[in-house]
């Protein structure tokens, strides 16, 4: 009996490890996949409508997150009980829009590899904004770990053969907005009564993003719907690209939730850092964008800084 129980426990542990590995693989594939497909659509394919593309993402996230949370129950639905709480979610939705649109706009002008290098400075912006809004100070070694991150991105920018100033500015804006969302989320949803898991947060934020992006896309990207229909008549693959790309946006969020559930916040942070490096290598292999030794040195320095930052945060906690 004891041996049978031990074998059952070992089998359960092996199944749990295998499940976690599959989820992490799906998380990596969806994250890298949406980056590459966004780049292909916005730059190589010539679909130059990043706001509309983001609108498609958010519409898919609205529909699929509702199906997942409200119908399937993965995870259980968490209701908004007050208008104040709904207003806070709306504010997060606005910042979320800026971060996603900025990232997509940047991919029109700069390679995925450089986009990910700039995105590596998210911890720096998070630390700065956290101090501005909450006066929370990190330890000196946590701030010291951010020095190679920033220095690495500066070096990577200097050595980037495909550097584009506007693309760089939009990528920095997206990165800082992503950090601001993290800080605001911690501030306004910090109490146990208001805390939402990532999927329920997406359920409420995505419709807000759709409401904000619809007029923005209509005004800024004039006739985008008729242009997309015209493109589809010439090449119907654009519809499949948009549908698949939009579903990937939801899968990114779903797998992020599942990875956090099956591992830990620190593991997610470490895996996320490694994911950026994977995206850089894969994008260079696929798009064959030129890279310089200086750029590689800068990105490597940034990755080392992120690793040191993760270690410093773990030491503090």
Q: Tell me the two tokens of residue 223.
A: 């006739």
User: What's the rounded Cα separation, in Å, for the pair 168 and 100?
Assistant: 14
Residue 49 class from Cβ within 10 Å (0-12 exposed, 13-18 middle, 19+ buried)?
A: buried
Residue 175 class from Cβ within 10 Å (0-12 exposed, 13-18 middle, 19+ buried)?
A: buried
Residue matched to tokens 């009564």: 193
In tens digits, the chain (317 residues) has pLDDT values of 566 555 556 656 666 778 888 888 898 899 999 999 999 999 888 899 999 999 999 999 999 999 988 888 878 888 887 788 888 889 989 999 999 999 999 999 999 989 988 988 888 888 888 888 888 887 877 888 888 888 988 898 888 888 999 999 999 999 999 989 888 887 776 666 667 888 888 999 999 999 999 999 999 998 999 999 999 999 999 999 999 999 999 999 888 888 877 776 556 666 776 777 788 888 888 888 888 888 888 888 888 887 787 777 766 65
Q: How high is the pLDDT of residue 182?
A: 84
Q: How high is the pLDDT of residue 216?
A: 93
Give me the phi and psi of 5, to 5 degrees please. Answer: -65, -40
Domain ranges for the chain: 47-74+81-316
User: What's the rounded Cα separation, in Å, for the pair 52 and 295?
Assistant: 31
Q: Is 105 helix (H, G, I), strand (E, B) or coil?
A: helix
Residue spans of beta strands (DSSP E) within the chain:
none
122 close to 150: Cβ distance less than 8 angstroms: no
């Amino acid at each position: 009996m004891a041996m049978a129980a031990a074998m059952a426990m070992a089998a359960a542990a092996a199944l749990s490890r295998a499940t976690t590995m599959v989820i992490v693989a799906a998380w990596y594939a969806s994250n890298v996949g949406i980056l590459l497909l966004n780049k292909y659509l916005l730059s190589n394919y010539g679909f130059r409508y990043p706001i509309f593309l983001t609108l498609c993402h958010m519409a898919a996230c609205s529909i699929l997150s509702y199906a997942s949370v409200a119908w399937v129950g993965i995870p259980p639905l968490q209701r908004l009980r007050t208008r104040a709480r709904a207003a806070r979610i709306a504010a997060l939705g606005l910042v979320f829009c800026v971060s996603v649109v900025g990232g997509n706009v940047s991919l029109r002008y700069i390679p995925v590899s450089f986009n990910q290098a700039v995105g590596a400075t998210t911890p720096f912006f998070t630390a700065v904004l956290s101090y501005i809004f909450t006066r929370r100070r990190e330890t000196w070694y946590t701030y010291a770990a951010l020095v190679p991150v920033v220095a690495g991105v500066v070096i990577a920018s200097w050595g980037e053969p495909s550097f584009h100033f506007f693309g760089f500015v939009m990528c920095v804006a997206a990165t800082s907005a992503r950090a601001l969302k993290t800080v605001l989320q911690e501030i306004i949803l910090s109490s146990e009564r208001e805390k939402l898991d990532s999927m329920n947060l997406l359920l409420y934020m995505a419709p807000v993003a759709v409401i904000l992006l619809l007029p923005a896309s209509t005004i800024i990207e004039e006739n985008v719907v008729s242009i997309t229909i015209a493109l589809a008549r010439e090449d119907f693959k654009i519809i499949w690209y948009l549908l698949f790309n939009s579903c990937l946006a939801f899968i990114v969020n779903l797998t992020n939730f599942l990875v956090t559930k099956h591992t830990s916040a620190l593991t997610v942070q470490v895996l996320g850092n490694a994911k950026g490096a994977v995206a850089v290598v894969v994008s260079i292999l696929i798009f064959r964008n030129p890279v310089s030794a200086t750029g590689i040195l800068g990105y490597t320095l940034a990755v080392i800084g992120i690793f040191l930052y993760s270690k410093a945060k773990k030491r503090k906690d």
